[in-house]
A and B are shown apart, each in its own frame.
Chain A
């Protein structure tokens, strides 16, 4: 076949291939962004249109995370989140054994509850009773968190959460194949590793999409509020 005749055909094929490649490349980040938005919506409090976004990487078994939740996040949820100033996003970063034996299992319960829109209630129940389940967990590793999750939900809600938790019964810290919520936890961990996180809690503040440097450790509400007030007073 004449090469001159072939050239337009080859050019056409190349053009079509290039168009599909560009579309595929564009589609991939969009899908990823949708996943991220879905994840954020499930484990967040407040309005996504709030000027400040606070992303917190937590481990439910870490005492500093418990203190940060009770002393800093709770007053913030009651005030700045309720007033539409702050959008609080939770991300899981369960530290592995031997540091924390049950952190992954706690994250699984919270993620399962998040799927039925009960993230806040179960997160609060687990942090409020952190001492109880983390200290005596070894006596009943599979069911130690169950009563606390149950107490935060209606019987019907708890049944739904239990169904989601099928396949997540093992206390294994690694990702379980049959556990529906483990991929979500893995995505949270992967996002945390990009920062990278060395300690929990670690949090990052965004103001109108502009990120501030991540900060780690227990910070009292008075200081965080002071920082928020200064950001909000900016023109």
Chain B
């Protein structure tokens, strides 16, 4: 494989990884912000209103509290901020703005999530994960899946830094 082909393949893989990572963050944010009582999966039932938003975030606060890791005063602010942080990361990853730093921040967040999930699984807490919405059990599969997300984040971050460095090198080599 030529250097150019490798470069193109690297760019394609970076794009796919970045979009996959964005999809994960969008799904996580939507799961936490979507209405709690959906009887039938229709487009109108998935509509987010201010009231449903408040209720969903408060429900997420209860899920966060069941991890028994945060002091009571920290649960509400984190529960109300986290879905929006995930949404912002998803948008930035999709747009590819400041990719190196955004991917690094996303990977740090995924590492934190993974550590929390491993701890809770090891303690046999048997709680709901709350990762992609309510009533989602914290199982061994969730531990594996979160490990995969972290690996993907790490790969995108490394790829973004390599890609950025090569781009800078090729620009500075221009006559």
Contacts and interface: CB of A to CB of B under 8 A. Distances in A.
A213 B35 CA distance: 11
A197 to B, nearest CB: 9
Given A212-B37, A216-B66, A222-B72, A199 B58 contact: no
B68 interface: yes
A219 B66 contact: yes
A234 B36 CA distance: 14
Contacts of B128: 213-217
Contact of B62 (A198, A211, A223, A234): A223
A230 B126 contact: no
Bin chain B's interface residue count. Answer: 20 to 34
Nearest to B126: A199
A211 B37 contact: yes
A234 B59 CA distance: 15
A140 interface: no
Interface string A152-165: 00000000000000
Nearest to A228: B58
Interface in A180-223: 198-199, 210-220, 222-223
B59 A215 contact: yes
Contact of A230 (B37, B58, B67, B68): B58
A217, A222, A231 — most chain B CB neighbours (10 Å): A217
B66 A217 contact: yes
B119 to A, nearest CB: 14
A223 B61 contact: yes
Nearest to A235: B51
26 contacts: A199-B125, A199-B127, A212-B36, A212-B59, A212-B134, A213-B36, A213-B59, A213-B128, A213-B135, A215-B62, A215-B66, A215-B128, A216-B126, A216-B127, A217-B67, A217-B125, A219-B65, A220-B65, A220-B72, A222-B72, A223-B58, A223-B62, A224-B62, A226-B76, A227-B59, A234-B51
